[in-house]
Amino acid sequence: MVPFAGYEMPVQYPAGILAEHTHTRAGASIFDVSHMGQIALRGDDPATALEALVPGDIAGLAPGRMRYTQFTNDAGGILDDLMVTNVGDYLFLVVNAACKEADIAHLKSGLPPGIAVDVLDDRALIALQGSSAAVVLSKHAPGAENMPFMTALPFSMAGSPVAVTRSGYTGEDGYEISIPSADATRITEMLLADEAVEPAGLGARDSLRLEAGLCLYGHDIDETTTPVEAALTWSIGKRRREEGGFPGAATIQRQIADGASRKRVGILPDGRAPAREGTEITDAQGNSIGAVTSGGFGPSYGGPVAMGYVDAEHAAKGTPVQLVVRGKPRPGRIAGMPFVPNRYYRGEE
């Protein structure tokens, strides 16, 4: 257990990080992510109101659908990244724990008076992730197995009203389940009683999301990085790209049109030595061209993987680079992400 954002968080359980990582791929794991902020936006047209703070197309979000977006500042930097779900009569937001209080203040100051910011601090959040997640959850929430990726539905599980989204942070199929706090232990233990399910901690969550090429706020994205630099332009819909109307729009629109000076990329170090966060990236001549923001050993990939930012002229896949590990340059190359194919359930074709 380690302290994180005011919470005690499990890094690993007795099986260990490698076993938890592997089990998530092969079966299903439960991650306790109750430290994340859960917020409801209620009132007259909260979607249009929220678009003044994020570049995502929220007004075009159909009921029962969810979308990934970011809070941006006036320079186009990312204050936090978040998930937004159109529940029907309100918007449901999930924000990062370390940014939670700042995000709540940002919403309250940036939204018009008619929009209520309701902090759902009486709810827990667990993530059921892995190839067996749908089979497991459907035993307790029939119909959940048919939900496509990035959709939401309400269910009753063991007599408790829960909100389920088919989403997660591992690159695997899976769900996030918002549960009344009083029922969280009971429902979590009910799911853990399934022979396919094991608990997993922050260590496996980090190695899984790294193999999936997913950003971690405060490491791969922060106030100094824009969505375009972070290779998150896909999260900005066509209408928002054209219309703007969000903080930092001028910078982001210019980068979309002309390209950013740097880009988040995948990196594959040669050999077995991982390149950790902060590792300097140089070109073949030793000129500094960027830095690693996340790196480690990819258990499913079978070798070291990393991501980071490099100058745009060095961002093409296959470009050879040097990774300065303990003062010694080691060869590597720019690679595409994800390192391990994502297995999100898109629905029946």
Q: What confidence score (pLDDT) does residue 347 get? A: 84
The parent domain of residue 172 ranges over 2-211
CATH of the domain at 308: 2.40.30.110
Domain boundary among 211, 242, 265: 211
The mean per-residue pLDDT over the stretch 137-142 comes to 98
For the stretch 108-125, pLDDT in tens is: 999 999 999 999 999 999
Domain boundary among 178, 211, 244: 211
Verify that 246 and 304 share a domain, yes or no.
yes
Whole-structure pTM value: 0.97
Does 224 reside within a domain? no
Contact residues for 161 (Cβ-Cβ < 8 A; gap 6+):
154, 155, 180
The mean per-residue pLDDT over the stretch 126-155 comes to 98
Does 282 reside within a domain? yes
For the stretch 221-268, pLDDT in tens is: 999 999 999 999 999 999 999 999 999 999 999 999 999 999 999 999
Does 10 reside within a domain? yes
Q: What confidence score (pLDDT) does residue 348 get? A: 66
Residues 53 and 88 sit within 8 Å (Cβ to Cβ): no
CATH of the domain at 67: 3.30.1360.120
For the stretch 164-216, pLDDT in tens is: 999 999 999 999 999 999 999 999 999 999 999 999 999 999 999 999 999 99
The 3 state secondary structure assigned to 275-340 is CCCCCEEECCCCCEEEEEEEEEEECCCCEEEEEEEEEHHHCCCCCEEEEEECCEEEEEEEECCCCC
For the stretch 45-68, pLDDT in tens is: 999 999 999 999 999 999 999 999
pLDDT surpasses 70 at 82: yes
Specify the number of domains making up the chain: 2
Q: What confidence score (pLDDT) does residue 349 get? A: 42
Mean pLDDT, all residues of the chain: 97
Tell me the C-alpha distance between 47 and 45, whole Å: 5
